[in-house]
Amino acid sequence: MNQEITVLMKDITKVFPGVIALQNVTFSVKQGEVKGLVGENGAGKSTLIKILTGAYTADSGEIYVFGQKIDNMNPILAEQLGISAVYQNLVLAEHLTVAENIMLGTFPTKWGLVDKPAMNKKAEEILSQIGYRGIIKPEERVGNLSTSQQGMVAIARALSRNAKIIIFDEPTAVLTDREVNELFRVIRWLRDSGRSVIYISHRLEEIFELCDTVTVLKDGAVAGEKTVSETNQDQLVAMMVGREVRHGIFDDTRKIGEEILRVENLSNKKLKNCSFALRSGEIVGIYGLVGSGRTELAKALFGVDPVESGEIFLNGKKVSLPNPRESIDSGINLIPEDRRREGIALKLSVKDNINLPVYPRITKAGFVNRDKEKEIAQTFVNILSIKTPSLTHRVENLSGGNQQKVVVAKGLASQSRIFIMDEPTNGIDVGAKEEIYQLINNIAREGSGVIFISSYMPELMAICDRILVMRDGRIVADVERKDFDEESILALAIKHETMVGGETGGK
Amino acid sequence: MESRIKFSLNTQVVVLIVAIAMWIFLGIISPYFFTTGNVQSVMRQMTIQGILGIAEVVVIITAGIDLSVGGVVAFVNIVMSKMVSTGSNIASTVLLVMALSALIGLANGVMVYNLRIPPFIATLGMMSVLRGATLLISNGSNIFGLPRSIADFSSTNTLGIPNLFWFLILAVVIVEIILRYTSFGRYVYALGSNIEAARLSGVNIRNVTYGVYILASTLCGLAGVLETSRLWMGVPTTGTGYELDAIAAAVLGGASLMGAEGTPLGAFIGALVMTTIYNGSVLLNINPFWTRIIVGVILVVTVAIDQLRKGRR
């Protein structure tokens, strides 16, 4: 079978400040094929797709669509070329009807007015192609539909624009099993009707169920390309790993002491019976893919999200942590995943940010002790060598790495003994990363315990004593340092059939 | 925090230069402008607007807005006039209306925090309710029969400065102290800059939100009491449009509707500029209809200059 290549991306390179997101990536899709695109978080899948749809511009490389070289790809041109993305977070206008969403921007008109009957009829025709005639009504408001039906509307919209290349980015994350089967039926129909489908997922079993070929990305480069019928899950996992682990970061001089935190059967909407313990001086990593519940575990521990059942013990004593204030006062600190949204107040000064959690301790009769305030800020600016012209400098004018240090300083200032760090090295450059690692070591050496959440396994393997692996809201494994192995940890996080409970995943 | 002050001073400096330019101009053109009588008159005129501007700035710093400030003034004016004209003790009446104002603020806070109503809508509703209540209580007509002492209070001076103006000075000083030196003040700015980060830093968002709206409404209650003294009667339609003047004063003084920027001192300067314009146009015999146009233009131009300056950083 000699199928035509519809999209060819050749030697694509994209550099973000401090990070090479993609390096000489070549990727292609044929007509009538479902192409899987897999890789760990941060491997470059989304960046590649955003370049294809024109949301980002590649620094170098060439894009060919139907053999024609496209020089300045942009979202409008991409759509005209028949490239259409159906994203995880659907971008539909919820207040408009199904037909209006499908035909948006290409309304049929009569004397300058929208011709509603014609619009509804056209929408109905498209919906019937994917087997949804009568199931989704054109006059229905999109906001009233289920998530999976909204996904179908998004597909119909792509079809109304005559899409030839359709991209699905993690479409099943929010769907039930039945809805997934339904989606797969439609995707197969798209393939059989001669379109090209790019399917991104980190659920490998879906790749084997749906895709014809699969491309594996690792650290922004192509790790390999396989025909699905000639490979298996273990082989793909092996291709996704093998990244270099920095040596010399691990600190074996730390004294690991008594247990300071124990969590038993913690459950809520996103968590299922999570249990683990943390000792003083210990650095415990939590690894899991996006949506595995790692951030939710951090938020439940810190009193941000409600806990439905389960118990938390601090230094052997049972505690309840209903809100962040209690957690801070009990010596727990969260360094949140999204620094700019949750970690710092950009318009406030370095001094005010560092002191924000500790004001109750330096306030008398409502008045802040301004000398103490300055002293605290100065102390941690010195300890963390935060590069700022003055204590009164606004945090928004600092670099990403220094902003992150301000977030860490808040935790240090509140004299925490348990640090939960959610992706602390996210979006900062290499030099600042090294500093953060040293900082984590220092914090642990002083006798605190650190929970280090990351989706970049090499950094966890470099610094942690143990790694907890999460999947679907559960802690599926607790891996000791001597058993660290990228491939087996990734397999634990990624595969459906995993061991349950606190077994060691070292195999 | 100095950077914040310095920055808002920059905005304020622009406005202050405008004010000084106007004073020089008016001083040259009208020999009457710098007389004691006129300066005192400006002070009296700007008191209500200044206090409301301070109330508004506190809310605006949290990225909120309070449209009920004028409504509170009218409500307090009518309730106080009705009570005093029917023989209630003045001091206890003042205490009562201040307490009522604080309650109105609490209601605003509950709507914004607990019911998650956007501040614009919550306080718009409150404004409408207060306006209606004011008309109901007064039956839509003015209330007379207040003792002479109430009017005397606003027309007398202490140390050469009108009594009313002393309250404005007091309001500026107290609210500046609260925002600058207390932990509550720090939280107010933190809330305006990043409410989620404030929450994760252990700040009690509920109490700060309540506090902000209560402080603002209590200041409006004070303005209502002073307004009653100035009018020497209850006027149900008083305070109409005051909310817009209050927002204008706050913004002229460097407050940003995006939150985390603004100071009471700035609102004071903003009110000063606007009062100077009103006063100047009277002195120059300008058709009073023009004054609102001038205020509008100055407001927009000042903010535009400020935006351009920020954009160039």
What the block records as the tokens of A466 is 């143990």
**Three-class SS of residue A141?**
strand
Residues in a beta bridge with A340: none
What the block records as the tokens of A387 is 């590069």
Amino acid identity, residue B157?
A: N
Closest residue to A342, CB basis, from B1, B3, B196: B196
Least confident of A75-89, A137-151, A252-266, B206-220: A75-89
Cα–Cα distances in angstroms (integers) from residue A275 to residues A34, A482, A496, A501, B245, in the given order: 40, 21, 20, 9, 58
Which DSSP string corresponds to B235-274? Answer: -TTTTTTHHHHHHHHHHHTT--TTSS---HHHHHHHHHHH
Mean pLDDT of all residues in A141-146 = 86
Which string of b and e fits A149-180 if b means at least 16 CB within 10 Å? bbbbbbbbbbbbbebbbbbbbbbbeebeeebb
Mean pLDDT over the full length of chain A: 86
Residues in a beta bridge with A113: A110
What the block records as the tokens of A156 is 């119909």
Asked whether residue B12 carries a pLDDT value surpassing 80, the answer given is no
Asked whether residue B310 carries a pLDDT value surpassing 70, the answer given is no
Of A84, A86, A90, A88, nearest to A143 by C-alpha is A90
> What digits encode the pLDDT tens for the residues B265-282?
999 999 998 898 888 888
Amino acid identity, residue A128?
A: S
Residues in a beta bridge with B246: none
SS (H, E, C) A61-86: EEEEECCEEECCCCHHHHHHCCEEEE
Mark which residues 328-347 of A lie under 8 Å from B by CB.
Answer: 328-329, 334, 336, 341-347
pLDDT at B3: 45
pLDDT at A501: 42
Residues in a beta bridge with A64: A8, A69
Asked whether residue B187 carries a pLDDT value surpassing 50, the answer given is yes
Closest residue to B183, CB basis, from A346, A368, A392: A368
Least confident of A183-192, B94-103, B286-295: B286-295
H/E stretch holding A329 reads: helix A324-329
Cβ within 8 Å, pair B181-A352:
no
- Kindly compute the dihedral angle of the four CA atoms of residues A167, A170, A171, A177, in this order, to the nearest 10 degrees: 140
CA angle at residue A302 from A299 to A303, to 5 degrees? Answer: 90
pTM to 2 decimal places: 0.78
SS3 content of chain A, % helix, strand, coil (to 5): 35, 25, 35
Asked whether residue B313 carries a pLDDT value surpassing 90, the answer given is no
Confidence class of residue B58 from pLDDT cuts 50, 70 and 90? very high
> What digits encode the pLDDT tens for the residues A41-63?
778 888 899 999 888 899 999 99
Q: Compare B18 and B58 and report the one with higher pLDDT.
A: B58
On whether any CB of chain B is under 8 Å from the CB of A303, the answer is no
Confidence class of residue A339 from pLDDT cuts 50, 70 and 90? confident
pLDDT at B258: 87
* Parallel, antiparallel or unpaired: strands A418-422 and A332-335: parallel
Q: Compare A64 and A105 and report the one with higher pLDDT.
A: A64
pLDDT at B8: 47
Mean pLDDT of all residues in B103-120 = 95
Measured over the CA atoms of residue B123, residue B129, residue B134 and residue B137, the dihedral's sign is negative
Asked whether residue A476 carries a pLDDT value surpassing 70, the answer given is yes
On whether any CB of chain A is under 8 Å from the CB of B183, the answer is yes
Rounded to whole angstroms, the Cα distance separating A347 from B306 reads: 17
- What does residue A306 show for φ and ψ, rounded to 5 degrees? -70, 145
pLDDT at A401: 81
Least confident of A173-177, A226-230, A389-393: A173-177
Rounded to whole angstroms, the Cα distance separating B111 from B106 reads: 9
pLDDT at A112: 81
Least confident of A368-382, A420-434, B47-61, B86-100: A420-434
Asked whether residue A299 carries a pLDDT value surpassing 50, the answer given is yes
Rounded to whole angstroms, the Cα distance separating A271 from A475 reads: 9
Confidence class of residue A507 from pLDDT cuts 50, 70 and 90? very low
pLDDT at B231: 92
Which of B5, B6, B183 has the most A C-beta neighbours within 10 Å, making it the best mutation to test the interface with A?
A: B183
Mean pLDDT of all residues in B198-227 = 95
Rounded to whole angstroms, the Cα distance separating A144 from A435 reads: 49
Asked whether residue A504 carries a pLDDT value surpassing 50, the answer given is no
Rounded to whole angstroms, the Cα distance separating B265 from B176 reads: 7
Closest residue to B3, CB basis, from A349, A356, A410: A349
Confidence class of residue A87 from pLDDT cuts 50, 70 and 90? low
Asked whether residue B40 carries a pLDDT value surpassing 80, the answer given is yes
Chain A hits for B257, Cβ within 8 Å: none
Which of B176, B200, B208 has the most A C-beta neighbours within 10 Å, making it the best mutation to test the interface with A?
A: B200
pLDDT at B16: 83
* Parallel, antiparallel or unpaired: strands A283-287 and A466-471: parallel
